Amino acid sequence: MTAGPAPLYNGFTMGNTRSVSGPLLAFARLEGAWVTAAGLADRPAVVASGAVVADVSPAARAAGLRPGIRVRSARRLVSDLMVVEREAIDPLAALEPLYEVLLGLSPQVEPVVDHLAAYCALSPASAGDEVIAALQAGKLERWGHRLIVGIGHGRLVARMAARVAARTRAGGSGAGARAPQVVAEVQGGNAARSGDPGSGGGAGVSAARALEVVSCRVPPGQEAPFLAPMPVTTLQEEVPPAARRQLQRLGLYTLGDVAMAPRQVVARAVGEQAPLLQAWCRGDDRRPLAPGYPPPGVTATLEAPPELGDDLRAPWWPAQLPRLAQQVAGRLVATGCAGRLVILEGERSRVGRYLPVATTAPDGLARAALELYRRLLADEPAPGRLALTVTALEPVARQLALDGLVPDARPAGNPGPGPAGPPRCREPEAPALLDELARRYPGRVFWGRERPVPRRERQLAYWDPWRGAPRGPAP
């Protein structure tokens, strides 16, 4: 009698542990941060990213709303629901308190703004209780109502641990996952309630506001059995949506299926990424963090002349701030970046402002610096030194001239210098090049005028007008 087939996750049993290769990370998510930044923390409100709910208030969560639900469905559940578009708030500014607290745990913090979260590198000797206690001591109840923490070795394990913790109710361990709670330490509870001894709640926090803290920690060596039952739809950072759908068409519905499938099968969905993806699904995730907080910036500093008295410094600075803005703008142009966050720092105080769009314009930076200086005077009437910093840098969009890449880009009969008419492309490489650039940079490639139509396409359009090509004589 032949033995039956082995269980699907036979290779991921509890006794089959292995040495951990990935770094110890914490994935922390602060729900309610965007709603609080919009000033609607005490009302049934949500922050929407397009047609999907991205963040909910405590009242909206009590009504059954969750991040990821459609806005139309949320309006049906809550008649008096207030919806704020994500573009109306600054997501990074709303999450800065969380990032500041994480920065106290480790200098390596990678923001994940779209998910109201961040990765934080921990020392191998860090205990989960110590991390949770440090986060609770940061008084995050002022900026959110629910803190979700996942701790494990590797980016994927830490993020999946936070996913399991998010299903945990306060005071219980009903994570709701199929098997992860068997190998993960799941904890839930309410902490930092205003008025409780040792909670650290500020005076401005309502007594009804509390920070619900839920966490999940995956013990070392149990990464593979923890990840095995997770669906492939959770691989949002690892593979694109089309690849996730292809994995399901191939019969690979869980991370355990991906880890145990033949490499050639996985390669049909993700190509050359198959070995890495299978290693990540087994818990061998060595991807390093990309620290992004505090963001790098450009700074210019100026000190007031010592002979100026306190009564003369206040009117002296407004004329000097455009010089600081000019210096910062020149350095931004040299680095090829534009900045969104403008910070003006004196000797004892510091103020900042987020710009609507990233800029390198000296005039815009000077106006922002003057506005910040007026705010700074309330705490520091006569500063002796000012430092203007622009952070939250973004690459400046550049334009690529294709004249040198496209053969015969000048019109016929005009081979020499002179005014060039509409580009004429005899070679088929030009449309192919434009299509490739448009594929790699969607929404950022513009021809500048009507794209030239190949001669063959115009001939076909002459006999088949439904092709939609412009009519005209063939060259």
Distance from C-alpha of 109 to C-alpha of 121, rounded to nearest angstrom = 7
Q: What is the CA radius of gyration of the chain?
A: 28
pLDDT at residue 382 in the model: 85
User: Which pLDDT score, from 0 to 100, does residue 396 have?
Assistant: 75
- Residue 301 contacts by C-beta under 8 Å, 6 or more apart in sequence? 324, 385, 386, 387, 388
For 255, how many CA atoms within 13 A lie in the half-sphere containing its CB? 30
- pLDDT at residue 49 in the model: 87
Question: 132, 188 in Cβ contact below 8 A?
Answer: no
Closest alpha carbon to 353 in 373, 338, 333, 336: 373
User: Concatenated DSSP letters for 99-156?
Assistant: HHHHHHH-S-EEEEGGGTEEEEE--TT--HHHHHHHHHTTTGGGT-SEEEEEEEESHH
Strands in 183-305 per DSSP E? 185-191, 211-217, 298-303
Q: Tell me the three state secondary structure of residue 30.
A: strand
CA distance 61 to 394: 34
Q: Are 283 and 153 in contact (CB under 8 A)?
A: yes
Is pTM beyond 0.75? Reply is no
Low-confidence ranges of the chain (pLDDT < 70): 1-21, 169-209, 397-431, 434-435, 438-454, 457-458, 461-462, 464-475
Cα separation, 40 vs 367, whole angstroms: 30
Q: Is the bond preceding residue 294 a cis peptide, omega within 30 degrees?
A: yes
Q: Residue 50's closest CA among 78, 29, 35, 69? A: 69
Instruction: State which amino acid sits at residue 269.
Output: A
pLDDT of amino acid 328: 92
| Contact status, residue 25 vs residue 158, Cβ threshold 8 Å | yes
How far, in Å, are 147, 275, 277, 297, 415 from residue 24 at the CA level?
19, 22, 19, 28, 63
Which residue's structure tokens are 């500048």? 448
Q: CA of 12: how far to CAs of 20, 63, 104, 227, 283, in Å?
A: 14, 39, 36, 9, 11
